[in-house]
Amino acid sequence: MRRAATTAAANLVFRRDLTLAWRRWDEVAQPLIFYVVVTTLFPLATTPDLSQLRVISGGVVWVAALLASLLALESLFRSDVEDGTMEQWVLSGQPLGWLLLAKVASHWVLTGLPLVIMSPVVGTALGLPFDAWGALVASLLLGTATLSILGGIGAALTVGVRRGSVLLSLLVLPLAMPLLIFGSRAVGMAMDGDSPAGPLQLLAAIFFLTLSLGPLAMSAAIRISVES
């Protein structure tokens, strides 16, 4: 009986967040627009020559996705903590990790997934060849999902802190560096004609590790933030 209630609760959280975001879709669009703008900065700052940009295109797309995701993460738990919903979740008797994971999942659907869909377009603008699209999308799918969970831990720790978004980035970026390294390496290998299987498998391993332990850390952090 209780198991069904947990899935039902998680489902409810997931659909509630999607519904809320649907009513304020301009907030959802902002990280995506930031993503496109940031990638535009690089050819302006370095060189418009596509053959030179191609070399860094995978890395630039990844860094821009990282920064755009971080921007969106600060508000992940803020409104729920402020109006007391989070306190009710902590007291609800449901496994807090599941509820938080549902929230992170809806956040990923709203921010991470659009970034992944947009990435081939943005990559092509930087000279990324078509052969690398598969590696780019696969690495970003795994990477943004992992980043949502890592960012969830950071957001849970820094909820309510003034200028929390800078602190959040400072906390999450060191943990996200391995993702960046493997993700852009996968794209780089695909561009060179090698199989990107190695880095992609490592990304998948990091994703599953984060998926299994992340909710634990998130719920500990939320309890600390809410009980203080």
Partner 1 sequence: MWLWFHKLASPPHAYRVLGKLAPWFGWPALATILLATWWGLVKAPADYQQGDAFRILYVHAPSAWMSMFIYVVMAIAAAVGLIWRIKLAHAAAAAAAPIGASFTFLALATGSIWGKPMWGTWWVWDARLTSELILLFLYLGYMALRSSFDDPQRADRASAVLAIVGVINVPIIHYSVEWWTTLHQPASVTKIDKPSIAIEMLYPLFIMIIGFQLYFGWAISRRLRGEILRRERNASWLKEAR
Distance CA 161, CA 167 (A): 9
Q: Does 178 bind partner 1 (CB under 8 A)?
A: yes
Stretch that binds partner 1, among 22-30, 79-87, 137-145, 172-180 (CB under 8 A): 172-180
Count of beta carbons in the 10 Å neighbourhood of residue 142: 26
Distance CA 108, CA 121 (A): 19
Give the 3-state secondary structure of residue 1. Answer: coil
Q: Which of 91, 121, 177, 205 binds partner 1 (CB under 8 A)?
A: 177
Footprint on residues 112-171 left by partner 1 (CB under 8 A): 153, 157-158, 161-162, 164, 167, 170-171
Measured at the CA of 158, the angle between CA 67 and CA 152, to 5 degrees, comes to 60
Q: How many residues touch partner 1 (CB under 8 A)? A: 21
Distance CA 173, CA 64 (A): 13
Measured from the CB atom, the residue of 81 and 118 that comes closer to partner 1 is 81
Q: Does 197 bind partner 1 (CB under 8 A)?
A: no
> Which residues contact partner 1 (rule: CB under 8 A)?
153, 157-158, 161-162, 164, 167, 170-171, 173-175, 177-178, 181, 217, 220-221, 224-225, 228
